[in-house]
Every structure is written in structure tokens, then in C-alpha cells.
């Protein structure tokens, strides 16, 4: 299978590229910077944010069987103006691929599309995003669902949750803990830690993404998640213990963010169905 991966040099992308290659697939890895991409991939330097609307981007990028769209600027800066400024570029790029022949499109989404919500999220959960990041992802999802339904293209919207692992390349709380430990910091300012999230390692996320791409029967919103809520405090304390860090958490030093839910996690029914089916082949 020939798979185009945009944002291939990024945190998730670099892992996905290697995983797909090792599964025997031809990977076309696209990004503006390419120094972190597996050399076994077909690497193309390409800036999707400065593309030409009337060009055949499908042909330019190798006429793939499927596209995994991970490219996103300022993904960890939830209220960056770029979130909305780039929205039309994402839509133009992806619809251009479909208009010129793409038949399967998988796009990385986020739990932040949902906004403030308590409990388990499935594909029918109402969305009311409270950050520019969530608003832009939600708008892209809604527009692509409509477009792909009218243009004979399977759309798989991969809704991501709290990703950890390979932490020096991430921008999560775990990254900050690693950096603090390396500096010799022992007192770490923290929130109350009571909020519960759905944590998924980047390795497990990559396995789920690959499984989704290798089938077309299950589409629409697919939660990439563990399906289990764990408190932030428990996750961080476990991380500190597993890595033998000397850091102690200073609980309550920072307030909880107003747009973070007390407990939010994904319904993993669809992804587990895909994984089970793949394992039975």
C-alpha cells in the first residue's frame, strides 16, 4: 500500500512513518523539514501552507492509495492565531488531493474538539470547543465529512487523546518533568492533578493509526485512545516512579485550566473492533 504522511517529521509522524515501513508499505513522507524522517521512506519536501490551489497535489505527492494528514502548526499552543489562519490551507490541500483522485483520507483530530465535557466521548458526542485549536480542528472535521461524502472518498477522523512517550520530542507535562529532572529540579509546580484523562502512549497510538489506515470498512470519527480515565496526578506520579526521578510535585501551585474537563475519556469500541479484525486476518 502506498501511503502519504504529511507532517512526517513531527512527533507522531516520525513514528508512524517507521511503523508503516516496517509493516511493508511504501511511505511517501512529506514535510517542510525532513531531518527526523526514516531514510527508507520516499521523502518529499513540501509546504502544504504555501501550495498552489490549482496544482495537482495528488500527482505531485506520488498518487498515494491513502493519505494520513498529521501536519499542523502550533499544535501545542492552543490559542495561537495560526489555528484559524491555517484552516483554509488545510481544507484547500486536502480537497485538492481528493479532487485529483485520493480515495482514502485519515486526519488527526483531538479531544479538544469536544470542549468541556464530563464522561466518555464517542462519535456522537456534541462538540463545543473552547480553544482555537479545538475550534479549527472541529471546523475542518465538519467540512471534510461533508466534502468526502460527496466525492467518493473514505474519511477517517482520528480523534487523539493525551499522548505520552518519547517525551523529549513531545510538549506535554511529561516532557517538562524530564527537562526538570535533567536540570536537577526537585520541586515541580503542579495543578491539583484531580482531572482524569485518557492517556495513550505514542507507540500504542501509532499501532492504532496503522490499523485504521489498513482498512476502509470503519470510518468517520475513530477514537485513538485507551478507553480508561486516569487522574493526571496518578499518571505523573507513576511516571516519576518508573523513571526514578527525584522530583516532588507541588500540588496546587497552578490552577486547573478552565476548559479542561474533570473527567474525559474515549469510547474505544471502534478502534478495538479494528484491532481485533486485523489480528484475526
Same domain, 186 and 57: no
Calculate what percentage of the chain has a pLDDT beyond 90. 84
Same domain, 35 and 151: yes
Q: Which region among 44-58, 61-75, 191-205, 263-277 has the lowest average model confidence (pLDDT)?
A: 44-58
The span from the CA of 112 to the CA of 242, in Å, is 28
Same domain, 273 and 191: no
Same domain, 66 and 115: yes
Same domain, 52 and 31: yes
Q: DSSP label at 68?
A: E
Number of domains in the chain: 2
Same domain, 155 and 100: yes
63: left (phi over 0), alpha (psi -120 to 50) or beta: left
Same domain, 66 and 183: no
Domain range spanning residue 190? 166-196+229-250
Helix (H) or strand (E) holding 31: strand 26-31
| Domain harbouring 158, CATH code | 3.40.50.720
Q: Which residues lie across from 276 on neighbouring strands?
A: none
Same domain, 176 and 126: no
pLDDT tens digits, residue range 200-212?
999 999 999 999 9
pLDDT tens digits, residue range 145-197?
999 999 999 999 999 999 988 666 777 888 889 999 999 999 999 999 999 99
Same domain, 123 and 140: yes
Q: The C-alpha cell of 20 is what?
A: 508503516
pLDDT tens digits, residue range 14-35?
999 999 999 999 999 999 999 9
Same domain, 192 and 202: no
Q: Which residues lie across from 42 on neighbouring strands?
A: 28
pLDDT tens digits, residue range 38-60?
999 999 999 988 866 678 999 99
Please pick, among 11, 46, 116, 133, the residue that the annotation labels catalytic: 133
133 is catalytic: yes
- Contact indicator for 84, 137 with CB cutoff of 8 Å: no
Place of cell 473552547: 130
Amino acid at each position: 500500500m502506498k501511503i502519504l504522511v504529511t507532517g512526517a517529521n513531527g512527533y507522531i509522524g516520525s513514528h508512524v512513518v517507521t511503523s508503516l515501513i516496517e509493516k511493508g508499505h511504501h511511505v511517501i513522507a512529506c514535510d517542510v523539514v525532513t531531518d527526523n524522517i526514516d531514510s527508507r521512506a520516499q521523502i518529499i519536501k513540501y509546504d502544504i501552507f504555501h501550495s498552489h490551489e490549482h496544482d495537482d497535489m495528488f500527482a505531485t505527492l506520488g498518487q498515494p492509495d491513502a493519505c494520513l494528514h498529521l501536519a499542523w502548526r502550533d499544535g501545542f499552543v492552543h490559542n495561537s492565531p495560526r489555528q484559524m489562519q491555517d484552516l483554509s490551507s488545510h481544507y484547500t490541500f486536502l480537497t485538492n488531493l481528493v479532487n485529483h483522485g485520493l480515495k482514502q483520507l485519515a486526519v488527526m483530530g483531538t479531544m479538544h474538539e469536544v470542549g468541556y465535557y464530563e464522561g466518555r466521548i464517542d462519535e456522537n458526542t456534541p462538540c463545543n470547543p473552547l480553544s482555537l485549536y479545538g475550534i479549527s480542528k472541529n471546523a475542518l472535521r465538519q467540512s471534510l465529512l461533508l466534502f468526502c461524502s460527496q466525492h467518493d472518498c473514505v474519511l477517517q477522523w482520528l480523534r487523539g487523546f493525551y499522548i505520552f512517550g518519547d517525551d523529549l520530542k513531545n510538549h506535554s507535562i511529561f516532557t517538562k518533568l524530564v527537562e526538570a529532572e535533567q536540570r536537577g529540579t526537585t520541586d515541580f509546580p503542579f495543578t491539583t492533578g484531580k482531572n482524569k484523562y485518557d492517556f495513550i502512549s505514542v507507540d500504542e497510538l501509532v499501532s492504532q493509526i496503522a490499523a485504521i489506515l489498513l482498512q476502509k470498512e470503519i470510518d468517520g470519527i475513530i477514537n485513538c485512545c485507551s478507553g480508561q480515565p486516569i487522574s493526571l496526578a496518578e499518571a505523573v506520579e507513576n511516571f516519576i516512579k518508573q523513571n526514578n526521578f527525584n522530583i516532588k510535585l507541588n500540588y496546587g501551585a497552578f490552577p486547573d485550566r478552565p476548559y479542561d474537563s474533570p473527567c474525559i475519556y474515549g469510547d474505544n469500541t471502534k478502534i478495538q473492533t479494528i484491532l481485533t479484525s486485523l489480528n484475526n486476518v
